Amino acid sequence: MPTKIRLKVHRQASKDKPAYFDTFELPLHANMNVISALLEIRKNPVNIEGKHVPPPVWDAACLEEVCGSCTMNINGRIQQACSALIEKVGVVVGDAYEVTLEPMKKFPLIRDLSVDRSRMFEDLKKVRAWVPIDGSFDLGMAPAQDDHVRHLRYALSRCMTCGCCLEACPQVSEKSEFVGPSAIGQALLFNLHPVGSTLSDERHEYLTSSEGITGCGNAQNCVKVCPKGVPLTFAIAQMNQSTTIFKLKQWMGLVGH
């Protein structure tokens, strides 16, 4: 049975600096995850060559797979570092679990394993992922909602803007304008809201642009890697249908241009 962890960490001071790897060895403890291994390294950042190096930089917050900030490539798979148990993700080599950590590649690098996910929050603005309200006064009881719709909205609301779906999507790249699965899922979420639906025309207008639905190649990688099980392919299919209806109505003069 392995008794050690051999962590190979991508290092890069900034996006313009050369990239390299530092390898660290540390004792294995029961139920260690990737974040706890990185925290151990931070206490004494000495690599296997005996050099004292700057501690690796990464993002983390909740440590409960809720905030989405610790997304990284772990042995080639995009996932959350806080829920990635070493004994599950590591490759056994001799007396150690070997784990290679790399940053997401679809987002601008900040340093080491930390990336800038700002584009995802800008994308939420583009699809108007909010419920418009006028003031904070009591509006009374909300309209009754079908239970199936409520369950769907809950599933869509589990998105934590972690970026896994964009990282896995072959259509999201520097050569493509495609907004990606996450924002489309949030567009459906707010279209299903009784008040949020008042902005549905604006969402449909955006999603029929060059950044919208037509950019999806139906690879379905997004739904496979989503850590929260968000029904992204279903959302894309639903929004594809509703944007088609919207454009037909627009062509017939039933909605504004």
Domain count, the chain: 2
Residues 23, 49 within the same domain: yes
Residues 12, 36 within the same domain: yes
Other beta carbons less than 10 A from residue 51's beta carbon: 9
Question: CA-CA distance, 175 to 47, in Å (whole number)?
Answer: 37
Q: Does residue 63 form part of some domain?
A: yes
- Contact present, 84 and 90 (Cβ < 8 Å): no
**Residue 95 scores a pLDDT above 90:** yes
Residues 27, 124 within the same domain: no
Residues 101, 178 within the same domain: no
Q: Answer whether 0.85 is exceeded by the pTM.
A: yes
- The CATH number that applies at residue 70 is 3.10.20.30
Mean pLDDT of all residues belonging to the chain: 95
Model pLDDT for residues 168-177, shown as the tens digit of each residue: 999 999 999 9
Residues 228, 127 within the same domain: yes
pLDDT (average), residues 48-61 = 97
Model pLDDT for residues 15-54, shown as the tens digit of each residue: 999 999 999 999 999 999 999 999 999 999 999 999 999 9
Model pLDDT for residues 124-140, shown as the tens digit of each residue: 999 999 998 877 778 78
**Residue 142 scores a pLDDT above 80:** no
Residues 218, 236 within the same domain: yes
Residues 198, 99 within the same domain: no
- Contact present, 139 and 131 (Cβ < 8 Å): no
In this structure, the strands spanning 96-102 and 4-11 are parallel
β-partners of residue 11 are: 20
Q: What contacts 24+ positions apart, CB below 8 Å, involve 175-180?
A: 176/215, 177/210, 177/211, 177/215, 178/211, 178/212, 178/215, 178/216, 179/123, 179/126, 179/127, 179/207, 179/211, 179/212, 179/215, 180/120, 180/123, 180/222
Model pLDDT for residues 154-167, shown as the tens digit of each residue: 999 999 999 999 99
Q: Does residue 184 form part of some domain?
A: yes
Which domain does 83 fall in, by range? 4-111
